[in-house]
A and B are shown apart, each in its own frame.
Chain A
């Protein structure tokens, strides 16, 4: 680690001071140089004034997990100097704003300190206080460009793209970035040993966050009703959906909208709106996070039992309770799987990255209508709010929505008496009708006990028959939902099971383990209820690790409940601290266990 196109750097700033644009600029510039890059925003749950960090990892191997070590830190927040300096690897570099002196007690002998008078330079160069603050960030981007050999032509091109319409802003940004660049070139031995060199590994790729990709998925799937209540980290999803709708869904003649987005009064109402619209035949969805899912449970149970489609995108954050709203976790698994009282089970799709946020959101709408039930898309903050490098999204124009078994007026003419919950095909899925089509298809949707005809009942057998059919319906779903993605190596006797955003660190850990002589197969679960292949995988290995980002090994519990595989035969590898996992911690945990087992 730490060499040409293989390093990581981090900026430590204060929330609300405009560092995001500098960090994005740097990451995008590296990306445009054809070098695989990833960024993780570690930000506080407030608007202004608290410490925030942005980690950028450059990896010619294409690894996108959090970096194992930090090679360089840009320290602009004095309150975090001690921890920032402490987090540097030996031999690393600290760049700080030398407009103010650095406490000598903080100096580390094994770290090179680079002082750049960013504040002073900006005070001298700019007259407005706002410019002096914001452009300090662009100046450090310039200094980093010199130190890390990031192509200034690319950076300047991007500034032109971003600020081209505002001439004074563009000039100020150009000046600031040059100022930092020139200072570093004059005062330091540029470039550093670890640095960028152009590659050609990002030509077919884009940088996108998962919330944007989910929004695109909803747009392309034909969702017309979005109902939501603002909550971190899902808010930007509906914002993006709205922007896409404004671009693509406005009638060109009348300027009227082919969509309806309702900001509900709370998550209960948002869920009700999704279900109301789904019942009426529109593709509808909400986006939320753990606290919102807690509030939606009553409607989720209702929709499960009354069999109404709806898509619920859960951008998970760290719980319980309010928890850490701006930190990531995978701790809503059990809540989503069995949301609400009574016997329920919900379909969940697990995207691993923004590309799958797009494809699985489309799949979620199909599954929701095909199986007439709520479907979760289980994203998380890491996927949802961080920019990921991914292949360009593509679309098959031959795609048509799977609307499931919906009887139209003509089909109803062929039916003697319509029964809402009748399993005519033996797959557990009953046909439904949409309101407004025909009096013959009218039925009463109810959350109270009903028989297969849809009529109210308290008769034990009739009630149980419906509930059991819904179980069969979910079994049918398990066979049609996305299969687990399995990667195998010859002679592997270690298995790793995981889902979602754990993909990046697990993929890297598998490579590192192999370097340590451990061959591991890996299975990424993509959907719940589990496909038969999931249990088949579990049965193959002498040692089985279940990697997940929660405290209580919820995936492991789910595997035991649903497949019957013994819980104590699955070794939990857990990280619930709220940050994306690193491959190193996985390798350490698994290696330690394997060493202990063989000792």
Chain B
């Protein structure tokens, strides 16, 4: 993954967050993606979200696989450890890292090729394990780095830049995640920062696996007429299902409740997510409703966005494993090694 360093100049009057960092402190290397790439907009949203969350960069781990999307991890929070894994296998590396140190914040960035083709199995099992992480799919329906092949999320009948028509049904990551029991499922559009930032913040504070599928057009290979993942298509077909506000509890911000139907979700860190249904009667706590709604939108050629489902009572991997709160990587050796007396005693069983 290529990257170019950015100058580290800070404007002295730049606004600081609660831990004294400016937004520039949440940036990373200069992007080498194509000009206008949707992924860079996602990067900007991530920077904004993490800055607003007052996240200490060195307490986060940025995980990715292979592909254009997976470069994103280099472009934000350069003071975080990053891990650019092998193609499609980021979820397992993250699960292992999380097993070793549950205290860090895990941010996985992947693409539709990485997650829905080569890595579909690992994505599915990370959902089943409910690994505590934010998992962003930058979804453009195409392989960018190898110049334009369809990915598994390419819509039926959509056309490649060379005019080839996709005849295979797509894998929808949102429907997949809902089916597999994901505890947080959202979709957004890279060009809609006002929606994406609160979704990312809510997903970050969710305890468990939070999938955020972001339609992120590829300007080089999938932004043409006939594509169902282009800017133009998204602007015509995006349907906001749930409007999201994220309210950190430590800040006294009153959010005007402009919608009658609102669900307040208290996150594990005490903050609140307020979900305003824009689809009439929509209940983001109903997995069945989420599934039906997303499918209905797909049938109409629309893309449902917002936090589509949230289950804040789900048990994450460490809950299921019943691990101690101290990170396993930090446990003192004395607590791990039973010692010579125990071994002597144990040997009696093998006589």
Interface residues of A (CB under 8 A from B): 31-32, 206-208, 216, 219-222, 224-225, 227, 248-249, 251, 254-262, 264-266, 268-282, 284, 298-299, 302, 392-397, 399-401, 433-440, 442-448, 455-456, 458
Question: Does any Cβ of A come within 8 Å of B190's Cβ?
Answer: no
Distance A277 CA – B329 CA, assembled complex (angstroms): 8
A281 and B336 contact, CB distance less than 8 A: no
Cβ contacts under 8 Å, B122 to chain A: 265, 268-269, 272
Give bound CA distance, A556 to B346, whole Å: 39
Decide if A281 touches B101 in the complex (CB within 8 Å): yes
Mark interface residues in B181-200 (1 if CB within 8 Å of A CB, else 0): 00000000000000000000
Quick one: given A282-B101, A434-B329, A436-B101, are A443 and B93 in contact (CB under 8 Å)? Answer: no
Q: Which of B185-238 contact A (CB under 8 A)?
A: none
The prevalent SS among residues of B at the interface is helix
- With a cutoff of 8 Å between Cβ atoms, the chain A residues found around residue B324 in the complex are 251, 254, 256-258
User: Chain B contacts of A273 at CB under 8 A?
Assistant: 92-93, 95-96, 99
Of the A-B pairs whose beta carbons lie under 8 Å apart in the complex, a sample of 28, sorted by A's number, is A206-B350, A225-B99, A225-B328, A227-B92, A227-B99, A256-B324, A257-B322, A260-B100, A260-B318, A260-B323, A260-B328, A268-B92, A269-B95, A277-B328, A278-B100, A280-B61, A281-B330, A282-B328, A393-B343, A394-B343, A395-B340, A435-B61, A436-B101, A442-B80, A444-B73, A445-B82, A447-B84, A447-B86
What residues on A are CB-neighbors of B3 within 8 Å? 455-456
Q: Which residues of A contact B347 (CB under 8 A)?
A: 206, 392-393
**Distance (Å) between the CB of B112 and the closest chain A CB?**
20
0 or 1 for each of B233-259: is its CB under 8 Å from A? (1 = yes)? 000000000000000000000000000
Task: State in angstroms the CA–CA spacing of A436 and B330 once bound together.
Answer: 11
Assess A444 versus B84: contact at CB under 8 Å? Given A260-B323, A279-B97, A435-B104.
yes
Interface residues on B, range: 35 or more
Evaluate whether A224 and B338 lie within 8 angstroms (CB atoms) in the complex, with A280-B101, A437-B58 already known. Answer: no
Beyond A265-B121, A268-B92, A439-B80, 8 extra complex contacts between A and B, CB < 8 Å: A206-B350, A224-B100, A225-B328, A260-B318, A273-B92, A277-B97, A435-B81, A436-B58
Which 10 A-B pairs have CB atoms at the shortest separation, nearest pair first?
Answer: A276-B96, A272-B92, A439-B79, A273-B96, A282-B100, A435-B81, A280-B100, A206-B350, A276-B93, A276-B97
B86 and A299 contact, CB distance less than 8 A: yes
The complex places the Cα of A440 from the Cα of B344 at a distance, in Å, of 45
* Contact present for B351 and A32 (CB under 8 Å): yes
The one of A216, A258, A279 that contacts B336, using a Cβ cutoff of 8 Å: A258
B2 within 8 A of A: yes
Instruction: Name the CB-closest residue of A to B101.
Output: A280
A447 to B85, CA, bound (A): 7
Q: Give bound CA distance, A582 to B95, whole Å.
A: 45
A435 to B98, CA, bound (A): 11
Expressed in whole angstroms, the Cα–Cα distance for A439 and B82 within the complex equals 11
Distance from B306 Cβ to chain A, minimum over Cβ atoms (Å): 30
* B14 contacts across to A, CB distance below 8 A: none
Contacts of A206 in B (CB 8 A): 347, 350-351
User: Known contacts A258-B331, A401-B333, A435-B61: does B100 contact A269 (CB below 8 Å)?
Assistant: no
Contact yes or no, A220 B97, CB < 8 A: no
Kindly identify which residue among B78, B99, B121, B124 contacts A442, using a CB–CB cutoff of 8 Å: B78
Please report the C-alpha to C-alpha distance between residue A400 and residue B334 in the assembled complex, in whole angstroms. 9
A249 to B321, CA, bound (A): 13
Chain A residues positioned under 8 Å from B58 (CB to CB): 435-439, 442
For the complex formed, measure the closest distance between the CB of B168 and the CB atoms of chain A, giving whole angstroms: 24
Once the chains bind, are A284 and B100 in contact (CB under 8 Å)?
A: yes
Q: Does B57 touch A at the CB level, under 8 Å?
A: yes
Answer yes or no: B337 CB below 8 A from chain A CBs: yes
Q: Quick check: is B136 within 8 A (CB to CB) of the other chain? A: no
Interface check B9, CB cutoff 8 A: no
- Min CB distance, B77 to chain A, in Å? 9
A222 to B331, CA, bound (A): 9
Q: Which residues in A have their C-beta under 8 angstroms from that of B146?
A: none
Within 8 A of A (CB), among B37-69: 57-59, 61
Residues of chain B within 8 A (CB-CB) of A224 are 100, 328-329, 331, 336
Contacts of A396 in B (CB 8 A): 340
